[in-house]
Amino acid sequence: MKENTNSQNINKTEQTAECRKLQLSVGGMSCAGCAKRVEKVISELEGVADVNVNFAAEKAFVTYNPQKVSPSEMKNAVSNAGYQPLEYKLSETEKQVSKRRENEIKTLRKKFIAAAIFAFPLLYIA
């Protein structure tokens, strides 16, 4: 039995030696359910070993085999799920990140006000 566990450990180390890590910025997530959805979509791709999506940071940390799946395939899967895969830029400053988030908040605020305007008459009628 010790031989089986040793061979399993060797296989795990060989798999991790072939794997690469990717940090992908994802926009358009509005809740923890969105983060789970992105995590599920990426993990269903062949060659993806591990996925961890941080909703607060809007980033997906992916461990994958580059021989089986490419970063562009992951970005396509995220965009097909309805979210925006953003390019990770080292030159992106804190001001640019906060400005992008402020724009998203303004958009969500406008959508909330529009929904509230249409919801109040329905509540009154009901």
pLDDT, mean of residues 33-51: 90
Strand order in the sheet with 20-27: 48-54, 59-64, 20-27, 84-86
Among all chains, which residue has been given the structure tokens 């809007």? 58
- CA-to-CA distance for 95 and 101, rounded, in angstroms? 10
In contact, 38 and 78? CB cutoff 8 Å = yes
Confidence of residue 1 (pLDDT cuts 50, 70, 90): very low
- Global pTM reads 0.57
Counting beta carbons within 10 angstroms of the beta carbon of residue 97, is it exposed (0 to 12), middle (13 to 18) or buried (19 or more)?
middle
The pLDDT of residue 119: 93
Q: With residue 103 as reference, give the H or E element that holds it.
A: helix 94-125
**Opening angle at CA 80, ends 74 and 83, nearest 5:** 85
